[in-house]
């Protein structure tokens, strides 16, 4: 699976949009981009995934660049409960049983 690069930490003001970047310059055509988050002392939580097109669900939006070498997870109105470590993961569609989490981005939402 392609490796990802994320900033170590970010801050965001409560109520503002949180934009979390991820670089995956070696991504292959059959690899998806997944985002998970892990709130302190809890297990990881799936957020969203995509292949080429932008995706949106009730939690977040995922913007993937046209060349697919980077993506941005957007939390439109960050709340204090969104404070967590956010993991960007690249995974092939089939045959991969591993999810390589890396160290993620620690997002702190500030009141």
* Residue 53 contacts another protein per CB under 8 A: no
Task: Give Cβ neighbours of residue 88 (< 8 Å, ≥ 6 apart).
Answer: 4, 6, 20, 22, 24, 33, 34, 35, 71, 73, 102, 104, 105
* Residue 103 contacts another protein per CB under 8 A: yes
Please check whether residue 50 is in contact with residue 32, taking contact to mean a CB–CB distance below 8 angstroms. Answer: yes
> Binding residue for another protein (CB under 8 A) from 5, 25, 30, 45?
45
* Residue 111 contacts another protein per CB under 8 A: no
- Which of 98/111 has CB closer to another protein? 98
> Binding residue for another protein (CB under 8 A) from 89, 105, 107, 109?
89
């Amino acid at each position: 699976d392609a490796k990802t690069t994320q900033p170590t930490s970010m801050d965001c003001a409560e109520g503002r949009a949180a934009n979390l970047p991820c670089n995956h310059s070696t991504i292959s055509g059959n690899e998806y981009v997944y985002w998970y988050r892990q709130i302190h002392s809890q297990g990881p939580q799936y957020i969203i995934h995509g292949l080429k097109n932008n995706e949106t669900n009730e939690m977040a939006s995922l913007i993937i660049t046209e060349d697919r070498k980077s993506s941005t997870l957007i939390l439109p109105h960050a709340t204090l409960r969104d404070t967590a470590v956010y993991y960007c993961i690249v995974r092939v569609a089939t045959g991969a049983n591993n999810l390589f989490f890396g160290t993620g981005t620690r997002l702190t939402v500030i009141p």
